[in-house]
């Protein structure tokens, strides 16, 4: 980039938005108001993740009067992870804050995050103090997935969210040095390490419409999270195999013993149960292996994680 350093923003705020037409103006106004108080040079980047509503049109209109608001529009819905990645790529600030478009991540925290960053933190994680707005099922599922990933992957993502501030150094690592296509932003930013700080917050209620995550998209995110951070499930397959082997030996010895002592080997039920058990072990194992193969397949195709349809307020050189 040829822009002189002095013109670069100090703070970039990245907002992934999918069908957020109803709330995006308010989010932009609120966040811009807060940024105004903490930094002289800032920018807000809205990544329209292929919305079907007027999200992008509103961003464009906003950008006409406020040149520090910029927008990128995807050719279709590529998912929040892709939107976050694009946001990081297009951002130019010395620090980059990722925040949701629905104001469920309280923007009032931004000044605290920036303060911590100015004190030397490279990553400031906003951590959910409560998940009151989530259903019991979603809370339990999140607990389980976070627990498993934290245990197996050796990183701490308990109650973490995608609401984070990252120093330019971290952004450059995330964008430039981690070539994986399927990403789990939350996990990756913990995995990097460096000087991390935490701020707690309460998730507020969504003002407009519904959460954009369907049940299956959450399942998919969990599988991505697991497969990108740990290969322990593959070891579980090996373990299941060993377990069946030991059980097999035990049952076989018992059968031989009975046969040797002249008793007929009995137990149709035992056979059926064993068959079914082993059958399901095999199927589950194949499934687990399949998930990892699918992951390899996705990575090896090396398709771009997103395609940009148009941008507003962004110099063309960055489109490449």
* Least distance between ligand UDP and beta carbon 7 (Å): 28
Q: Is 182 in the site for ligand UDP (CB under 6 A)?
A: no
Q: Is 167 in the site for Mg ion (CB under 5 A)?
A: no
Site string for ligand UDP, 212-251 (x = CB under 6 A): xx--------------------------------------
* Per-residue tokens: 229: 């951070």
For the chain, first and last CA: distance in Å? 12
Which of the ranges 12-20, 87-95, 260-268, 290-298 carries the binding residues for ligand UDP, by CB under 6 A? 12-20
Q: What are the DSSP calls for 24-90, one per residue?
A: HHHHHHHHHHHHHHH-SSEEEEEEE-S-SSSHHHHHHHHHHH-TTEEEEEESS---HHHHHHHHHHH
Torsion of CA 296, 191, 48, 118, to 10 degrees: -160
Residue of 218, 214, 234, 216 whose CA lies nearest to 295: 234
By CB under 5 A, what part of segment 104-123 binds Mg ion? Answer: 104
Distance CA 40, CA 27 (A): 20
Q: Is 201 in the site for ligand UDP (CB under 6 A)?
A: no
Residue 98's alpha-carbon distances to 44, 105, 171, in angstroms, are 10, 10, 11
Q: Is 20 in the site for ligand UDP (CB under 6 A)?
A: yes
- Looking at 132-282, which runs of residues are DSSP E strands? 160-167, 196-202
By CB under 6 A, what part of segment 58-87 binds ligand UDP? Answer: 77, 79-80, 83
By CB under 6 A, what part of segment 82-101 binds ligand UDP? Answer: 83, 100-101
Which of Mg ion, ligand UDP, none binds 182 (CB below 5-8 Å, type-dependent)?
Answer: none
Q: Is 20 in the site for Mg ion (CB under 5 A)?
A: no
Which of Mg ion, ligand UDP, none binds 77 (CB below 5-8 Å, type-dependent)?
Answer: ligand UDP
Q: Is 49 in the site for Mg ion (CB under 5 A)?
A: no
The residues binding ligand UDP (CB under 6 A) are: 16-18, 20, 49, 77, 79-80, 83, 100-102, 104, 211-213
């Amino acid at each position: 980039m040829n822009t002189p350093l002095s013109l670069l923003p100090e703070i970039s705020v990245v907002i992934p938005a999918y069908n957020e037409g109803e709330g995006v103006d308010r989010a932009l106004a609120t966040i811009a108001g807060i940024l105004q108080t903490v930094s002289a040079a800032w920018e807000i980047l809205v990544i329209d993740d292929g919305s079907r509503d007027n999200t992008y049109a509103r961003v464009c209109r906003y950008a006409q009067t406020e040149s520090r608001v910029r927008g990128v529009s995807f050719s279709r819905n590529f998912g929040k992870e892709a939107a976050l990645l694009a946001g990081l790529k297009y951002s130019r600030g010395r620090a980059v804050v990722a925040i949701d478009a629905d104001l469920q991540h309280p923007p009032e925290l931004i000044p605290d995050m920036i303060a911590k960053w100015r004190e030397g933190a490279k990553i400031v994680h906003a951590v959910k103090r409560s998940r009151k707005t989530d259903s019991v099922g979603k809370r339990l599922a999140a607990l389980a997935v976070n627990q498993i990933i934290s245990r197996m992957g050796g990183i701490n993502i308990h109650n973490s969210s995608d609401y984070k501030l990252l120093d330019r150094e971290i952004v450059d690592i995330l964008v430039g040095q981690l070539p994986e296509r399927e990403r789990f932003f939350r996990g990756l930013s913990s995995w990097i390490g460096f000087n991390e700080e935490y701020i707690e917050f309460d998730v507020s209620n969504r003002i407009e419409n519904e959460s954009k995550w369907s049940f299956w998209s959450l399942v998919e995110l969990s599988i991505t999270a697991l497969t990108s951070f740990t290969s322990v499930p593959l070891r579980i397959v090996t373990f299941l195999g060993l377990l069946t082997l030991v059980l097999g030996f035990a049952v076989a010895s018992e059968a031989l013993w009975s046969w040797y002592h002249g008793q007929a080997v009995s137990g149709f039920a035992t056979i059926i149960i064993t068959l079914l058990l082993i059958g399901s072990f095999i199927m589950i194992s194949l499934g687990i292996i399949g998930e990892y193969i699918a992951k390899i397949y996705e990575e090896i195709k090396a398709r771009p994680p997103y395609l940009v349809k148009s941008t507003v307020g962004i110099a063309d050189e960055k489109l490449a």
